[in-house]
Amino acid sequence: MATPVDAEGRAAGSWGRAHFVAIADVVDGAVAAWAVHEVAWDESHDSGTHGSHHARVVTFLREQGVQAVVVDHVGDGMQRMLGTMGIPILPATPGDAQASVLAAVAWAQT
């Protein structure tokens, strides 16, 4: 699971302009591993084309083996890209990012 986070570990609002993205391994309803990556997509978003930005995101998702994204906002182009990759977008909740990921997993299982 991937989710945008802020420097304090709270769920962040936007996917394509995230500065930090956390990768969570969820096992049996608990976060088994949590790693925060400084992707700086907020800085690189407007440098180059949308295609080059999406390529950076695709590379990151593939390198991390991401199977779902937990976020409250994704632009139309990014939604199409994630859909093409077969990566579902799950709803984020405000506050603690790990709790948001667990809530999204629970939501997806209902």
CA–CA distance, 94 with 9 (Å, rounded to integer): 11
Q: Give the chain's mean pLDDT.
A: 92
- For 2-101, CATH gives 3.30.420.130
Structure tokens at 93: 């909740």
Going through the chain in order, the beta strands assigned E by DSSP cover 2-5, 20-27, 30-38, 69-71, 89-91
| 49: confidence class by pLDDT, cuts 50, 70, 90 | low
Q: What is the mean pLDDT of residues 88-103?
A: 97
CA–CA distance, 89 with 47 (Å, rounded to integer): 25
pTM equals: 0.91
How is the chain split into domains, by residue range? 2-101
pLDDT of 13 above 90: no
